[in-house]
Structure 1
Amino acid sequence: MATTRIWAVRSRLDHMVDYVSNKEKTVALETVIDYATNDKKIFEKEYVTCINCAYHDPYSSMTNTKKQFNDNKEILAFHGYQSFEAGEVTPELAHQIGVEFANKLWGDRFEVVVATHLNTEHIHNHFLINATSCVDGKRYCNTNKDIHNMREVSDGLCRKYHLSVINKTKEKDNYYREKPLRELAKESIDYAISISLTFTSFVKELDAMGFEVRGVEDSFKIRHISSSKFIRVKSLGNSYTFESIRERILGHPIKIQTIYDKKNFDIDYWCKKYERGELTGFQKLIMHYQYVLGILPKPNSRRFKYSKEYYRALKHMDEISDQTILMFKYDIKTIDDLENFQSNIETKLNKKLEQRQKLYNKIRRCKDTDLKSKLQTEAKSYSKEIKELRKQMKLCNGIEERSKQMEQTISTIQEKERGKNRYERY
């Protein structure tokens, strides 16, 4: 038979995420997708299916749905689980059942990622369900009726494919308390580690999934709501000792979202060049300014405090990020480069304006309807180019002006930090 579980995926407050369009929600959602489609677990990409969302980028599909329906609720998705009896199914059949299962339960209204994991004795499916419907924006609530329906649909599919099904309620309850529960505990711990920044947040995630947590170190143990007994966590294996879990939480890579993710610009590449000292003085100033203010996370830092200057900079976050993208995109390394770039933009802009005006003059004199329509379309294309050039001109002016203020702002913040450190010493 197949056992099923489902729990809510909740938002995680992250200092940088507060500004970027509630990206703290999206930070937790992206991590779950990475976990559910982890290549080390599934071995082959063929065991991942996306329903109602893009296979190569389900994260964007789900977040776009939330934006479309203006959904900023705390629960952003649901993470489901379907585990089969050891040796009872092949990976292909498990995945086929998982896809049918997801389509029956959520496929008519919700975006779902189905991933089949082969890394344990019990082959199992993971389901990531967007809490916001892509059809009407209404939310999936996961009521007791939904949970009961999950079990019924799962059992129905097991019968369809001639897999074992336990029918007696008492017998089924005992089954849930035995070995599959230990598998669920390991999966739940792995998942909680993958989205936690601290041990405290790890415990909160386990609590949200229905686990009671007690003790520390050798006495660290958990109990699921469906079981009457605690599981001593270290008995699950060497990767599940108290110290191993702490090390895994602190050691796994965590991607902190920034405004550059929203703009689809790879700022990480330039952050690494900054850390290696490979940027010019002008480029380094622009990056250092963002590190000091907290717009970008400081290297080897998991959390940072925001200054008053940071909150003032929030008003100009889009402009600062656009200026940074412009600099790196067009390889502007010095003030001289900036002035030359600005001069070229001005020349292009004047030429485009002149060409568009000539088209406008032709349009006014033109009496042929088809030709006039063609000229209007051509004029619109010039308008789009002109708008972009004007934006670049404005950004150039802003870079020059802001660069004069950056050093003073950095100096002010660092002086405050030095004063605070002196105060804390005494």
Structure 2
Amino acid sequence: MAVTKIHPIKKTLYLALDYIMNEDKTDGKILISSFGCNPKTAHLEFEQTKRECNSKAKILARHLIQAFAPGETTPEQAHQIGLELCERVLQGKYEYVLTTHIDKGHLHNHILFNNVSFETGKAYQSNKRSYHQIRTVSDDLCRENGLSVIDENYKKFKSRYSTNGKSYMEYTEFKRGNSWKNMLQLAIDKAVLKAKTYEEFLKTMEEFGYEIKIGKYLSFRHKDKRDKGRFTRAKASTLGEDYTKERIKERIEEPNKYQIYANKKRHYEKCFYKKPDTIVDMKNNEKVKSSKGYEIWAGKHNMKTMADALNEMRNYGVNSYNELDKKLQETASKRQDTLGKIKQIESSMKEIYSAIENKNTISKNQLIYDMYRKDKENKAFYEEYKPQIIAYEMAMKGIENSKHKLLSIQNLSDKYMLLEQEKATLMEKYSSQNSMLHSLQQAKKNTDLYLDNHLEK
């Protein structure tokens, strides 16, 4: 496994270059490479590029470090991986100096690259997205060279439950269990569970109310147009890696799919709530008093509204005013119970999410922490890897207090998925109960007002 980190250099670039090219650290300066510049004069050439491009960037260079697990690779292989990392990340647009250090018991690459591209004249944008790209490329290179990489189960989990790319509205709906993307994911999970062949899967999705467009990507659109009429492509970047056409076909054939995706209680119909009409207050409405025509209309409207209210109550099994009060209390109580269950599930999901993050942090920083523990007096090492060491210790503290500490990331991810599906089922139940409660409350309000007006007459 290779651990990466990047930080800016705003001053004394030449000192940073001297440090990374130290012959005691680089096997007599053998493990030094460069692109677009001479290592000895790189600091001057970086500044020259900046002047020629009229760049006002305050950062002189970026310092990228790539550290490998002890004994996992050779100096030559580590250096070659560093070169390929530069090639894929920097794409020949930035001058750089690469050195491989062999002095700390673990091999690590130092890459100093110009903050300004000699090709575009623009400054390098260092942010979460660019760092994620570096991490991804580094992991790919480690995998290609037979080195260990970050837990694949964690990557799948983050791919499914990441909020990146979601609008605020979509993220809010996702948290509530109503996101149309989330609903599509759950529908696909259900269809995969039921289907024995890919053709059966497509037929099942149609039964769930989805229109399907088949091309380079599978695309889905629900017939109730909850997604505003758009087709949603089943791509890794849209729904996650488990929802591509190829992966769906693989999942259908998986022998253990029932353990992962089973959830027989899941339904996909969306509950719509239509607000009932309101009785017009014949006693106090000024328009009724001033307009005979409106008074006649209001009387007819009230009769129709009251008839609708009675029909609504009968649909809910209510046949008398006393039963209406009882049904209201019963529905309110059930809705509160459902809400309590949802909150319990959300609490469990939060605990599992935290446990997964802690386990990944521990795994990611285990190498660094083991080296730190062997030589706690090495202050230079501690300062260099202080964030990772602190993160490791905090994650260990968090996982020790967790009831999930003995479970693997894979098991936790499966458990999280089942809880998510259970929550979605309860959210629909809550929505239905909420609609019923509002309907009954309005029916009672209309009944009280209608009787009051009628008795007054």
Shared topology, TM-score over 0.5?
no
TM-score by length of 2: 0.38
Tell me which structure has the larger Cα radius of gyration: 2
TM-score of the two chains, using structure 1 as the length reference: 0.40
